[in-house]
C-alpha cells in the first residue's frame, strides 16, 4: 500500500491536501481515484489509513479514517558522514533512512573535495525512502558543517562509533581514550547502549587525514571500530556500520 | 597503489602483459610510465609488486618483482541473489566483492521480472571492486539459473542464511526445520560456522512468492533470519546480511 509523509496533523475525520508533487504521484503515476486507500504518517501521530476523497485538476484531497500504527520512537541513532561524491552520498542518505537513522549530519573534512551539496534533494530522498521502508518518521538531514566544528559542539553524552578505515596499525600507538580499535560488534557490546544515544561516523573516500584521525581517537565519546580486513567504499561502510549497530544495540537485536 | 587482477602466473622475474583495457587504464588514464610500481594478484600466488617495464603503442609490459602478501583463503561465504533491476544488481555484485563473498549465484524466482542479465558486465564490476578493496581473488559470478533448480542441486552441507523479508508473522506457523526466524546475529551464533560453508540468500524486490517462501523455510540447510522491523531494498539487505555474517562467523569477528 502507498505510504506518504505529510506535515498535517492526523486524526479521524481530518482532511489532508497533499503537495502538488504528491497529488501528481497519486493520481497521474499511481492512478488512484476517489475511494482508493493509502497510508499517511507525519512523525507525530502514528500511521493512518486514508482514502482519496476528491480529485480535481488542481490536486486531490485525502480523508483520514483510522490509525493503523501508534507512533513509536526509533532507537537514538544518528549518522555523521563526510561529503562524498553525489551518487554515493544519495545512496548513503537512502540507506540511513532504511536502516532507522534519526538524523544525518554532513561534515566537511580535510580530504573532502566538496563543501556543499543539494540538501533539498537529500531531504526528498530521505522522505521517499522513509515512505517505502515503513517507518513513521523521516530522518532529519542537517546542513553541512565543518567536521571540526561538529566535534567541538558535540554532546559528550552521545557516543560516536568511528569506523576507522585505517584499522589497527600495530606500529602506531594512537593512545587516547579509545585505545585500540576493536571489531565493531565487540566494541559496541563493550560500550553498551548508554543514555545519550549513538552516532556512526563515516569518513571521506581516502580516509581521514592522520591528524584528524588522531584527534578523533583521543575524544572520550569516540568508540573506534574496525569493519574487517578489506577497504570499503563509504556507502558500504555506512550500511555495514548502521546494520551492526542495529543488530547489537538497536531494534534488530533480540527483544 | 594501483592493484590489478591478472590471469598470469606470478613469480619474481615474470613478465606480464596486461589486457588492452588494463594497459590503456595504466598508461592513458593513470599515466604510469616505465619504472612506476603497482600491485598484481591472480587468486593463486598472493599479491606481488611489479613495475612498468615497457610502454609501446600496442600496450605495456610489467615486470614482477617481489611478493607483498601471501595468498589466503577468504571465509567460505557465497551470495545467492534473485535477479533484480540492473543498477541494484550491479551494486550488489560490487558490495559482495567488497564484503568478501567468494561467489555470487544469480537466481530467477516467480516474482523476478528479468530472466537474464549481462554477466560479463557483472564480472567486470566484481574484478574492479576486488582490485580496489584489496582482496587477493575475484568472486566468481555464476550464470543465472532458476532458484528451484539451484536449491534442488544444493550441497546440503552448506548452510543458507535466508533473509526473510516477511519476517515473523505470529499468525502463521511456517513449521519446517528452520522454525521461527530469529534476528540475524542470534540465528548465526546458534547455527555456528559448520564445515560446509555458508551462503546468503537475498530475494527479489517484492519478496518471495508464499509457496517459495514456505518451501525455503522447510529446507534443512536453511537458517531463516530477520533484518529488523523495516522493509529493506535488495541491495541494502545484501550488504547488511553479508556484514552481519562476516561479523559473527567470518573475518570481521574477533580473532
Q: pLDDT per residue over A51-65, tens digit each? A: 999 999 889 999 999
Q: Do A243 and B246 touch (CB under 8 A)?
A: no
Residues A6-23 pLDDT 10s: 999 999 999 999 999 999
User: What's residue A57's pLDDT?
Assistant: 87
Q: Do A240 and B239 touch (CB under 8 A)?
A: yes
User: What's residue B179's pLDDT?
Assistant: 56
Residue B253 has pLDDT above 50, yes or no: yes
Burial grade of B148 (CB within 10 A; 0-12, 13-18, 19 or more): middle
Residue A34 has pLDDT above 90, yes or no: yes
pTM of the predicted model as reported, rounded to 2 decimal places: 0.94
Question: Which of A91, A228, A248 to mutate: most B Cβ within 10 Å?
Answer: A228
Nearest Cβ partner for A239 among B132, B135, B239: B239
CA A126 to chain centre: 8
Nearest to B117 by CA among B71, B151, B81, B68: B81
* Chain A environment of B133 (Cβ under 8 Å): 230-232
Beta carbons within 10 angstroms of residue A203's beta carbon: 27
Q: Are A184 and B185 in contact (CB under 8 A)?
A: no
Closest Cα in chain B, distance from residue A19 (Å): 25
Q: Do A230 and B183 touch (CB under 8 A)?
A: no
Q: Do A251 and B232 touch (CB under 8 A)?
A: no
- Across the range A144-166, mean pLDDT stands at 93
User: What's residue B74's pLDDT?
Assistant: 86
User: What's residue B168's pLDDT?
Assistant: 53
Question: Which of B252, B253, B255 to mutate: most A Cβ within 10 Å?
Answer: B252
Question: Which of B91, B163, B230 to mutate: most A Cβ within 10 Å?
Answer: B230
| pLDDT classification of B171: cutoffs 50, 70, 90 | very low
Nearest residue of B to residue A88, measured between CA atoms: B91
Residues B13-61 pLDDT 10s: 999 999 999 999 999 999 999 999 999 999 999 999 999 999 998 899 9
- For Cα atoms A134, A135, A138, give the angle at the middle one, nearest 5 degrees: 125
Q: Do A134 and B239 touch (CB under 8 A)?
A: no
Nearest Cβ partner for A183 among B227, B232, B247: B247
Residue B174 has pLDDT above 70, yes or no: no
Residue A123 has pLDDT above 50, yes or no: yes
Residue B167 has pLDDT above 70, yes or no: no
DSSP class of A29: I
User: What's residue A167's pLDDT?
Assistant: 57
User: What's residue B176's pLDDT?
Assistant: 44
Residue A246 has pLDDT above 70, yes or no: yes
Q: Do A239 and B244 touch (CB under 8 A)?
A: no
- Across the range B76-88, mean pLDDT stands at 95
Poorest-pLDDT segment among A85-89, A249-253, B165-169, B199-203: B165-169
Domains for chain B: give ranges and CATH numbers.
3-69 (2.40.240.20), 77-248 (3.40.1280.10)
| pLDDT classification of B166: cutoffs 50, 70, 90 | low
* Chain A environment of B232 (Cβ under 8 Å): 98-99, 133
How far are the Cα atoms of A45, A59, A127, B53 from residue A19, in angstroms, in the given order? 19, 8, 13, 63
Residue A170 has pLDDT above 60, yes or no: no
Cα separation of A139 and A86, whole Å? Answer: 18
Q: Do B236 and A99 touch (CB under 8 A)?
A: yes
Q: Do B134 and A231 touch (CB under 8 A)?
A: yes
Amino acid at each position: 500500500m502507498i505510504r506518504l509523509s505529510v506535515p498535517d496533523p492526523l486524526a479521524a475525520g481530518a482532511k489532508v491536501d497533499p503537495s502538488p508533487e504528491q497529488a501528481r504521484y497519486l493520481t497521474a503515476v499511481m492512478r488512484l481515484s476517489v475511494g482508493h486507500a493509502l497510508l499517511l504518517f507525519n512523525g507525530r501521530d502514528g500511521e493512518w489509513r486514508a482514502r482519496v476523497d476528491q480529485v480535481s485538476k488542481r490536486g486531490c484531497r485525502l480523508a483520514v479514517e483510522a490509525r493503523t500504527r501508534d507512533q513509536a520512537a526509533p532507537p537514538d541513532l544518528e549518522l555523521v558522514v563526510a561529503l562524498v561524491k553525489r551518487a554515493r552520498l544519495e545512496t548513503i542518505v537512502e540507506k540511513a533512512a532504511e536502516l532507522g537513522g534519526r538524523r544525518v549530519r554532513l561534515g566537511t573534512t580535510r580530504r573532502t573535495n566538496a563543501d556543499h551539496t543539494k540538501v533539498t534533494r537529500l531531504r526528498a530522498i530521505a522522505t521517499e525512502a522513509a515512505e517505502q521502508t515503513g517507518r513513521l518518521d523521516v530522518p532529519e538531514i542537517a546542513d553541512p558543517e565543518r567536521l571540526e566544528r561538529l566535534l567541538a559542539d558535540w554532546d559528550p553524552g552521545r557516543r560516536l562509533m568511528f569506523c576507522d578505515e585505517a584499522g589497527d596499525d600495530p606500529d602506531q600507538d594512537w593512545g587516547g581514550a579509545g585505545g585500540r580499535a576493536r571489531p565493531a560488534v565487540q566494541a559496541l557490546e563493550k560500550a553498551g547502549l548508554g543514555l545519550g544515544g549513538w552516532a556512526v561516523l563515516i569518513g571521506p573516500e581516502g580516509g581521514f587525514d592522520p591528524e584528524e584521525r588522531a584527534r578523533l581517537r583521543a575524544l572520550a565519546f569516540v568508540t573506534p571500530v574496525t569493519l574487517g580486513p578489506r577497504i570499503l567504499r563509504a556507502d558500504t561502510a555506512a550500511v555495514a556500520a548502521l546494520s551492526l549497530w542495529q543488530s547489537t544495540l538497536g531494534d534488530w537485536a533480540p527483544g
